[in-house]
Amino acid sequence: MSKIKRNFGHDYKKKIKENKGAFSVFIVLRLLVVAAMVFSCINGNYENLFYCILTLVLFAIPTFVENNFGIELPSALEIVILLFIFAAEILGEMGSYYTKVPYWDTMLHTVNGFLCAAIGFALIDILNRNEKIKFKLSPMFLAIVAFCFSMTIGVLWEFFEFFCDAFLGMDMQKDFVISSITSTYLGESTKNPVVIEDIQTVAVNGMPLAVDGYLDIGLYDTMKDLFVNFIGAVVFSIIGFFYVKTRGRGKIAKQFIPQLKNDKLNEVSEEKAGENK
């Protein structure tokens, strides 16, 4: 038992030494979350307490994956994941950055598209380079699969937001104020939609809303989120394509693509890339 503990301690210290940046970010963010949790307990704000606990659980996922699945996460990827979780849960939910800071939600959905493409790319790339697998996928197909994986995650998240809004009375799909609408429902037929422009006032149950325009509920927010997710997915898919095409030379991709621990194929590829420089 003591030998296992010594080995675990040695591996943990080695990981800290190799990933000082990620470990420093982890410690700082964890301390901030613990401080916010204590503050929430004192104020009796149990909703914020839940967000703090959820954040700490999510912070543990990268380490759990590395220890249980033999996958090594690059420092840059781990740092971005930790910052993403903190920005979404603590700043976004507790700090109300989603409403206070313009384009906060847009920025997070863009990063999410990028990260999901990186994870999807790594999953397929690891299988693709497994000697036991009979088939091999081209770099283009790997990029397409990574893109589709990222977009699927984005769509599933929008399903989740709609479920929360429709059945739990939440407002995750934020409203948009628009100045014109095109409606077949208000027209005589589907071939002749009514176009209403320059909308200045809207009333609900006879009560005017304090907005200059028509209040769109959810649609624009959903499409905007999917579009920026698309942008993030495309960016990484292109990066991943050239990373596989010139195996080992892509400095940016290498910082965001998880690898199997003791990956001999990757080590050989990096050595060849260094020799070709």
What tens digit of pLDDT does each residue of 190-239 get? 778 889 899 988 888 888 887 888 888 889 999 999 999 999 999 999 99
Domain boundary among 101, 133, 156: 101
Do 143 and 61 share a domain, yes or no?
A: no
Q: Closest Cα to residue 104, out of 118, 90, 115?
A: 90
Do 185 and 153 share a domain, yes or no?
A: no
Q: Which domain holds residue 3?
A: 1-101
Do 79 and 37 share a domain, yes or no?
A: yes
Do 248 and 193 share a domain, yes or no?
A: no
Domain boundary among 101, 120, 136: 101
Kindly state the DSSP code that residue 16 receives in the 8-state scheme.
H
Do 62 and 86 share a domain, yes or no?
A: yes
Do 25 and 79 share a domain, yes or no?
A: yes
Residue 160 counted as domain residue: yes
Residue 106 counted as domain residue: no
Domain count, the chain: 3
Q: Which residues of 201-233 are buried (b: 16+ CB within 10 A; e: fewer)?
A: eeeeeeeeeeeebbeeebeebbebbbebbbebb
Residue 222 counted as domain residue: no
Map residue 37 onto helix, strand or coil.
helix
Do 193 and 247 share a domain, yes or no?
A: no
Q: Do residues 148 and 269 touch, judged by C-beta distance below 8 A?
A: no
- H or E segment and range at residue 113: helix 104-128
Predicted confidence band at 8 (pLDDT cuts at 50, 70, 90)?
very low
Kindly state the DSSP code that residue 214 receives in the 8-state scheme.
E
Predicted confidence band at 272 (pLDDT cuts at 50, 70, 90)?
very low
What number is the average pLDDT over the span 149-177? 92
Quote the CA–CA distance of 118 and 112 in Å, as a whole number: 10
Give the position of tokens 């009333």. 203
Residue 225 counted as domain residue: no
Residue type, 235: V
- The pLDDT value given to residue 227: 97
Encode pLDDT of 233-266 as tens digits.
999 999 999 988 887 676 788 889 888 876 654 5
Map residue 72 onto helix, strand or coil.
strand
Q: Do residues 135 and 176 touch, judged by C-beta distance below 8 A?
A: no
Encode pLDDT of 161-173 as tens digits.
999 999 988 888 8
- The pLDDT value given to residue 5: 47
Do 159 and 121 share a domain, yes or no?
A: yes
Residue 223 counted as domain residue: no
Do 56 and 117 share a domain, yes or no?
A: no
Q: Do residues 109 and 229 touch, judged by C-beta distance below 8 A?
A: yes
